[in-house]
Amino acid sequence: MGQRLPNPTTLFTSKPSAACTFLSLLVICILGFYTLHYVHPAPSSSNPQTALRFRRIFLSHATNATVASYLRALTLHPHLAGTRPSLDTAHFVRAHFMGLGLDTRSAHYNSLLSYPLRSSLSAHFSNGSHVDIPLTEQGLSAENGVVGAYHAYSPSGSAHAKVVFANHGTDEDYRALAELGVNVSGCVVLVKRGGDLPRGEAIGKAEQNGALAVLLYTEGGDGFKKGFERGLVRSGAGDPLTPGWAGVDGAERLDPEDPEVLKRFPKIPSMPLSAKAAELLLATLGRSPVPNQWRASLPAGVRGVGPGPTVVNFTYQGEKKLVAIHNVFAVIRGAEEPDRYVLLGNHRDAWTYGAVDPNSGTAALLDIARRYALLMRSGWIPRRTIILCSWDAEEFGMVGSTEWVEQNLANLGSKAVAYLNVDCAVQGPGLFVRATPQLDNLIVEVTKKVKDPDSEGATVYETWMSANRSIDIQRLSALDSDFAPFVQHAGVPSIDMYYGRDFPVYHTAFDAYDWMVNFGDPLFQRHVAVAGIWGLLALHLADDSILPFNFLSYVDQLKHYKDVLSSLLDGSVSLHPLTTAIQEFAYAAKEVEHEAQRLRDVQSTSELVLLKKRALNDRLMLAERGFLDSDGLEGRHWFKHLVYAPSSDHESELFFFPGVADALFQAKRMSGREGQAKIQHEIWRVARAIQRAASSLKGEIF
């Protein structure tokens, strides 16, 4: 006979030895760890068939009228960040989440925002007449709660000077003026918004050329030429007084006069101008003829660029003040991997009513929350935690999202699976998507499941393909929405999407509910499509046992970037480090894709299989962090991502490898050898970043 085993109950009856006590505690700790982190699958979402059923329920419970009602409620009043109506909007979103029974949280920060106090503009013509130019939309005033037309963080100032037209205000445009013998020094420059040049950069270039002030206008569509495009003119993201750390209560803050703060702000004042007022000024300019390359985009009656003879009297006074901003969250805790986060985000604050920007996205987010709550009542629990994020003060430089990312950087770095951003959900027809490349395949597959809002019987994917002849997914190098801190600072895989390339009422008081129902999306079908895509993306990222990342798309992009860069270099700089790093990354991407496919095919739910899936998912999740560099970009250390971030040269041909793009720009002002060394160093930095990402995918130190 075998040895008789003792009764388990007797193990704890006699006095244990020190060794037994230690072993018992060790076993308890290990069991506790696995209980917390590797819970056995819940039947609600881990089973593929069950997950498919929940995704179908999610899609089937979309209602256009519900989304429309959310948008109507959100846009009853203007709600500029830092104002009482903006706080009311935060309370509305919070009440919605709580009413659905969702775990609702909030976070507030004290941030430096900018507001107008008074402004005036008058034009004085050569015949002795003059006209006072209104600085808000006709029929609207402060009594409606609409803020007057202004540029946030513009310095106060005044000017009485001749007007010069500088087209888009690029370096090339100022060179064209110089060829005509036009000097803008001592003048007020009139600039037409266009291209990729940010407002602040256009003002900075005018200042470099000696201008006293800048008037910026945007061409409105028919019927909207009297709109004023409000906007931001400072550089960077987040609170200017807390660069790199969160502006929580009691936080360290830089002095507003600190050089690190002041360098973010323009040195000359500026104001937005309506297209109607701009045409009035353009029609009265003379002296130098309009360059031929500018004529196509100007009204037929424009004859010259100035200076003058028209003179403007320009005055702007504003204030910067510390105000409280409020982020609101709904948390749906995951059953199996609660410490892995899938985040969906949109900002609430608007320059005026915000029907397009941003509350078309807010309405979609609220509807996703409603549908997720319905799934929960049907028994669904996500595998991973889903967090719905409603940001504040995005219009002032992604302040709410940036402060939260900076506050939670360590946790996001180790736990964030992906961030899915929708700012303006609907601007018009046509789907546009930007993403980090490992999410490309997921985006394609999800769009095959959602009905197209504008083509009967077609899916979004089919219409997208027919319009572009291919799936055109752009990248996330711009600093223009809340994905920026997630990608460019924290290295979190991200998506940004919207319907419609642009719209004529951008940042004007005409961006109201009436515009949406008359022009943007009368039946709210595009809103429903965006919510469907957005919500399904999150369901896959939260519920799929293996994260639906495919890094082979990243490999293709990196190879393409290397080829483009090669075409810009003269051979004096070696791309060998980059080529080698991409080859290493490609090998790792192929291996991890094979591993993922093998584990997807495994039906077992044993502890060992769960551990293997968890380990693989962590490598997939963390690979994007490899592209970060702790030193950041030279002179712009907040930007850590060496593949996707904005270049300091906004006229650069490169929308990738921002450090290399900066070096190419700076090398123009250096000796040949010094410039080549700078470019070569940045290429090495990118190569090392790609190698780090490859190592993360492989998951091995040796």
* Annotation marks residue 394 as catalytic: yes
CA atoms of 514 and 505, how far apart (whole Å):
12
Show the DSSP H helices in 378-455 as ranges: 399-407, 409-415, 440-447
Q: Are 648 and 636 in contact (CB under 8 A)?
A: yes
Other C-beta atoms closer than 10 Å to the C-beta of 250 total 6
Q: Under DSSP, is residue 118 helix (H, G, I), strand (E, B) or coil?
A: strand
Q: What is the DSSP letter of 334?
A: -
**For residues 95 and 559, is the Cβ–Cβ distance under 8 A?**
no
Q: List the one residue out of 626, 601, 619 whose CA is nearest residue 687.
A: 626
Helix, strand, coil percentages, rounded to 5, for the chain: 40, 20, 40
- Indicate the Cα dihedral angle 331, 335, 338, 341, nearest 10°: -60
Element (H, E) at 645: none
Asked whether 306 and 291 are in contact (CB, 8 A), the reply is no
Say whether 674 sits in a helix, a strand or coil: helix
Which residue out of 229, 337, 394, 406 is catalytically annotated? 394
* C-alpha dihedral, 363 to 364 to 370 to 372, nearest 10°: -160
- Supply the DSSP symbol for 514: H
Tokens 């041909």 map to which residue?
A: 653
Residue 639 region by backbone torsions, left for phi larger than 0, else alpha for psi between -120 and 50, else beta:
beta
Q: Provide the phi-psi class of 5: left if phi over 0, else alpha when psi is between -120 and 50, else beta.
A: beta
The C-alpha atoms of residue 631 and residue 635 are separated, in whole angstroms, by 10
Residues designated as active site: 394
